[in-house]
Amino acid sequence: MLKMLVFLLEYAYSRETAKKVVNVRFLMSENLRQKYLAKGYEIEDKILKFTDELEKTLDKDLLSLETPMTIKFVPSFSTELPPGVDLDKCGTDMIELGDKLNFINEDDSLSSAIAIFSCKSDPYNNTFEVSGLKVPYITHTLTTECTTRTLIFAETEQPKLKAVVTTALIKAAGVLMKNPLIFEEVNDGDNGVTYEIRVNSGVIESLASNECFYSP
């Protein structure tokens, strides 16, 4: 019995779990926040719920690696926007949307940011389809930085909101893959239809191999 206990302790020590911590700023206008409140919920609560589900989904695979690891996203929320960033102005072209991400980076490049544009993605759908994106988003990255800036669009349907938020979180962790997640429709009996997160091949390897966001 004692030998078995020693073996288990040595095994656990040899597989010490690494941890990544990704700080993420969610930026939105007060106008958009109030629109979500008018629909009966706080957008912050939804984001925290989606974040928790994503962490659990990723950790299932990350803990099975030869060098096990976990990931923790730490969201913060702000309606105070950097100079030059107007998230309520619809009808802007892709260049202007990209400029918003540049301004966000100039304001703070030390943490990843997710900006929620108050407008629908419909006017840009053709561009996203041509680019092969299954979820509408725009990401700004620099090779010299671990952090990223991602712009997503206002969604009120829960499956779509979950898709854009969790995809943006994966981008915030430094995964470059265009479509890192799959959302599978599941019949959950009395709870109706739910959409479960599935991780695309390569995401776990990408998280494990990049040197960003490791916590001491």
For 22, the enclosing helix (H) or strand (E) is: strand 18-27
pLDDT band at 4 (very low <50, low <70, confident <90, very high): low
Contact 180, 170 (CB under 8 A): yes
pLDDT digit string, tens, across residues 54-71? 999 999 999 999 899 999
pLDDT band at 12 (very low <50, low <70, confident <90, very high): very low
Contact 104, 82 (CB under 8 A): yes
Single-letter amino acid code for the residue at 106: E
Cα separations in angstroms, 175 against 161, 169, 212: 20, 9, 10
Q: What is the mean pLDDT of residues 66-81?
A: 96
Instruction: Please tell me the distance from the alpha carbon of residue 69 to that of residue 51, in angstroms, as a whole number.
Output: 17
pLDDT at position 13: 43
pLDDT at position 15: 61
Give the global pTM: 0.90
CATH number of this structure's domain 19-215: 3.40.390
Contact 184, 198 (CB under 8 A): yes
